[in-house]
Each structure stands twice: as C-alpha cells, then as structure tokens.
Amino acid sequence: MLRQIRIVLIFVSATLLSSCGLFPEPYKIDIAQGNKFDKEQIKQIKLGMTERQVKYLLGSPMIQDIFHADRWDYVYSFKPGKGEVQKKHLRLFFEQGVLQRIETPIPEPADTTPTKEASSS
C-alpha cells in the first residue's frame, strides 16, 4: 500500500513538473543601450569635419577615453526580447579637432541571394 502511494506521488509530481512546459514564455522587453546610429548618419560623416559637426550628427560619443582623447567610440547594442543581440561600433579619430579616420563602420548585411556562376561546357 505504501509503495503504491509513493508511485502515485512520483507520477503526480512528474506530471506537475512537466506541465511547466505548457505555459508560454514570459514577455521580455527590448533593451537598447548606447548611441543609436544608422547608415544614413554614417554616410553624412566626412573626413575633415570638426568635432562639433560630428556631435551634431551623432550626439556625444558613448566612450571618450582620457588616454585617447582624439578617439571617439560610438557603441550601440540592441537586445530584443526574443532573438539575438545586435551590436554596432563606430570609432572616429580626430587630430586637432578635425576628423581624420573612420573605423568599423556599420557592417553591410550578408548578401543572401544565390550567385549564378557560368559553367564552362
């Protein structure tokens, strides 16, 4: 009798624990951090622009390192409630207040269209 009660309790416990998978996943909010920028803003940035002009287009940089005063880092991270984290990083280098170099622009999305290669017959 005691053994039958244990078996029933184990069965009921297993059933209750497995039912947790029947409930939908809780809602998760989207989290955006950093300086939001896009391709159009990047296209407007030109070498020779002043720091003030760049700040007008992109806002203040997320990271201004005291050891690299002439380098500005614009970092953006977006974590959707469901899906993968998207990250962007733009690094600008100035000399005497004038933009000299742009690194790590927004990566272009991978071309997913199939290419047709000519076959030599």
What are the pLDDT digits (tens) for 10-34? 887 777 666 566 667 788 899 988 8
Mean pLDDT of 101-116: 59
Domain range enclosing 37: 29-103
Measured CA to CA, the distance from residue 10 to residue 91 in angstroms comes to 59
In a domain, 9, yes or no: no
In a domain, 73, yes or no: yes
**Residue 93 pLDDT:** 94
In a domain, 117, yes or no: no
In a domain, 109, yes or no: no
Overall pTM surpassing 0.75 (yes/no): no
- 115 pLDDT above the threshold of 90: no
**Residue 50 pLDDT:** 94
In a domain, 75, yes or no: yes
Burial 42-59 (b: 16+ CB within 10 A, else e): beebeeebebeebeeebe
pLDDT band at 53 (very low <50, low <70, confident <90, very high): very high
Q: What is the domain-level CATH number for residue 97? A: 3.30.1450.10
In a domain, 89, yes or no: yes
As a residue count, the chain comes to 121
SS3 content of the chain, % helix, strand, coil (to 5): 30, 25, 45
Tokens encoding 84? 């993968």
In a domain, 10, yes or no: no
Q: How many structural domains does the chain have? A: 1
In a domain, 98, yes or no: yes
